[in-house]
Amino acid sequence: MPPQHDSFIHHSSSQHRFARFHAITGRDVRRPADAAVVALALRADGL
């Protein structure tokens, strides 16, 4: 049986984190185009 992970995050917390990421980077990961750019950048950086 795989180990259990406590990966729950409250909706308000996730929205706050997304908003903060947007304020810092200028990318809003709630928009598909921005999410794709961020995903590609993270993958290119090896994260």
Q: What single-letter DSSP state applies at residue 28?
A: -
Q: Where are the domains of the chain?
A: 12-44
The pLDDT tens digits of the residues spanning 3-46 come to 667 778 899 999 999 999 999 999 999 999 999 999 999 999 88
Taking the C-alpha atoms of residue 33 and residue 5, their distance in angstroms, rounded to an integer, is 29
Q: Which of 7, 39, 43, 3 is nearest to 21 (CA)?
A: 39
Tokens 């809003």 map to which residue? 28
pLDDT, residue 31, reads: 97
pTM across the whole model: 0.72
